Structure 1
């Protein structure tokens, strides 16, 4: 808990790591743009409600979809940077090599979970498209959000597998 908030980002040097780093950063930037768009729409809706008494139709639906897509897009970047929350209360007294092994195991478990989520979201996308389910007010097909989030979870799985393998390979003495 003593490390600085803005730790420097060291890009991996191997080709796979560089590719995952670039993709993760691109996904995060795209997620940021989605959040900016959602924020602008929210401000416009609130101002419209205050001035005219009418909000943007379906503003809650758009915030819900946009926020879900954005949060999913940020996850791989957090994994590549090693900036996800760690509960290190019980491991602070362990040797660095043991902490690295536990970090590698944690990343491996995250990779497995993210791969399962990506797989199930992809199947959910197909099912929702077949059932033609839509949002209540705007009639936006529900599968759009799933389709936009599935690649983020697949990338999270790839980045977590990568960081896990790095932790197991580069263990301190």
Structure 2
């Protein structure tokens, strides 16, 4: 059962990260087109309308999309200064403490992002140029944040399982 959950959570983390990467590539292409359009205004071209708005919203999604995979592969920044002095069991306990802290942070971030999205939706706030409702950008970022919560909670169980006698 654990292996199937591990596989599913790993798939989720990779899928969301790949979606974030696809959005990032699309943003790079859009920015290149927009800059080229600005440079070639004398030739009749023009920049992409609302490029900064699209870039802000797309980057918010991409950043949140990479968090689950980073957590799943233990890619977050670590200070390994005392790692050798704690031994194998001590390091597993530290991993558990870090995973619990990250799960707590992920839950708080997703909760506050959810409330922010509801707030933006209630005021019908839109972007200046494209008139896109801002809550939609929050909702897109919330996809990554929700996956981050799922992966972070799984990582807590993974760390518990790695402890001696931790047959969770």
Report SS of the residue matched to 1:41: helix
- TM-score, length of structure 1 as denominator length: 0.86
1:127 to 104, 116, 119: 119
Query: Is residue 68 of structure 2 the alignment partner of residue 76 of structure 1?
Result: yes
Greater displacement, 35-44 / 47-56 = 47-56
1:22 aligns with: 11
2:38 aligns with: 49
1:109 aligns with: 101
Paired residues of 2:99 and 2:155 also in contact (CA < 8 A): yes
Show structure 1 runs of 4+ deviating over 6 A: none
Structure 2's unaligned 5+ residue stretches are: none
CA distance in 1, matches of 2:97, 2:69: 19
Higher helix residue share? 2
Count of aligned pairs: 162
RMSD of the alignment, in Å? 1.8
Query: Is residue 89 of structure 2 the alignment partner of residue 97 of structure 1?
Result: yes
1:6 aligns with: none
Report SS of the residue matched to 1:60: helix
Report SS of the residue matched to 2:84: coil
CA distances 1:7-39 after superposition (whole Å, capped 9, x unpaired): xxxxx9622211111111110111011001100
Report SS of the residue matched to 2:129: coil
1:31 aligns with: 20
CA distance in 1, matches of 2:131, 2:71: 34
Distance 1:142 1:92, change over 3 A: farther
